[in-house]
């Protein structure tokens, strides 16, 4: 059966309307972006307002033993914080689609709304496209809005030291516009696959959320000085995730086949 965008958009609009009615889910979606924006702004503000603390140079030299004596340790740590924080920022475009997709797939069974959807002429590809859009569009929009607020906040608190804008820089601009949507698609794909296998949306969210652990682990490696983050490092992550996205797309279409859903959830 041919893919018809109109039917995929109908699935998207249905799930989007359901999302607007779920106040608890909307609140959950807002908490993580708030943390991801506020914490680095506070860290940068602290460095700007205490630039002469002796321990800052010790920390800076831990990461870069060749740091010149006349260089500002506070400025070095601000730049490193902004570079490393992008790794944690990527948790947001992964986690938000997990919250949404788990509700729109496993939640269909809990709410007993799967049967009418299966009775419609929608194909597996249209179902995956519609439900993925319902998770990806809010996730990407939230990520971009949080990025704008983040840039404004960092530039405001850093201005007294740098006397110019720090953000957005090349790493963050490329990352948010290119890598973040790839990670959002990855989170959505994982949630769709797991949601099709489990019976409850909450369980699907909890299992799917485990995919953020490698991201947190890599950030831990950066903080420990084991990994050196940069544009190339994150671009490599994006390339790997792009391959995983393609695999997840085909797996989702296969798993969300109408006959499979009827036999499993019917």
* Cα distance between residue 183 and residue 146, in whole Å: 16
* Cα distance between residue 245 and residue 77, in whole Å: 34
* Cα distance between residue 250 and residue 193, in whole Å: 11
Give yes or no for a contact between 14 and 111, defined as CB atoms under 8 angstroms apart: no
Q: What are phi and psi of 226, to 5 degrees?
A: -80, -40
Give yes or no for a contact between 155 and 166, defined as CB atoms under 8 angstroms apart: yes
Tens digits of residue pLDDT in 90-137: 889 998 988 888 777 666 666 666 666 666 777 778 888 888 888 899
Residue 259 has what pLDDT?
60
Residue 34 has what pLDDT?
94
- For residues 99, 105, 106, 109, the Cα torsion angle rounded to the nearest 10 degrees is 140
The separation between the first and the last C-alpha atoms of the chain, rounded to the nearest angstrom, is: 22
Residue 124 has what pLDDT?
75
What are the structure tokens assigned to 5, written together? 């965008």
Q: What pTM was computed for the model?
A: 0.86
Residue 180 has what pLDDT?
94
Closest CA to 170 of 213, 217, 232: 232
Closest CA to 138 of 17, 8, 10: 17
* Cα distance between residue 186 and residue 177, in whole Å: 15
Residue 26 has what pLDDT?
84
With a cut of 70, which residues of the chain have pLDDT below it? 1-2, 105-119, 257-266
* Cα distance between residue 226 and residue 140, in whole Å: 30
Residue 39 has what pLDDT?
94
């Amino acid at each position: 059966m041919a893919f018809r965008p109109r039917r995929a958009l109908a699935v998207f609009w249905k799930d989007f309307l359901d999302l607007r009615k779920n106040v608890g889910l909307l609140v959950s979606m807002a908490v993580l972006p708030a943390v991801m924006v506020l914490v680095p702004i506070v860290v940068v503000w602290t460095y700007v307002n205490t630039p002469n603390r002796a321990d800052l140079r010790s920390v800076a030299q831990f990461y870069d033993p060749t740091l010149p004596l006349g260089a500002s340790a506070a400025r070095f740590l601000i730049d490193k914080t902004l570079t490393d924080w992008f790794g944690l920022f990527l948790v947001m475009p992964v986690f938000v689609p997990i919250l949404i997709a788990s509700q729109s797939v496993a939640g269909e069974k809990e709410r007993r709304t799967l049967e009418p959807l299966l009775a419609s002429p929608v194909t597996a590809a249209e179902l995956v496209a519609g439900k993925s859009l319902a998770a990806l569009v809010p996730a990407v929009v939230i990520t971009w809005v949080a990025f704008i607020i983040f840039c404004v906040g960092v530039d405001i608190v850093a201005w007294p030291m740098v006397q110019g804008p720090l953000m957005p820089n090349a790493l963050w601009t490329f990352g948010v516009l290119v890598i973040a949507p790839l990670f959002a698609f990855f989170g959505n794909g994982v949630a769709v696959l797991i949601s099709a296998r489990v019976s409850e949306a909450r369980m699907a969210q909890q299992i799917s959320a485990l995919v953020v652990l490698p991201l947190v682990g890599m950030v831990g490696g950066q903080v420990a000085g084991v990994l050196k983050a940069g544009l190339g490092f994150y671009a490599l992550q994006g390339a790997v995730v792009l391959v995983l996205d393609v695999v997840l797309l085909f797996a989702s279409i296969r798993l969300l086949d109408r006959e499979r859903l009827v036999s499993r959830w019917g």
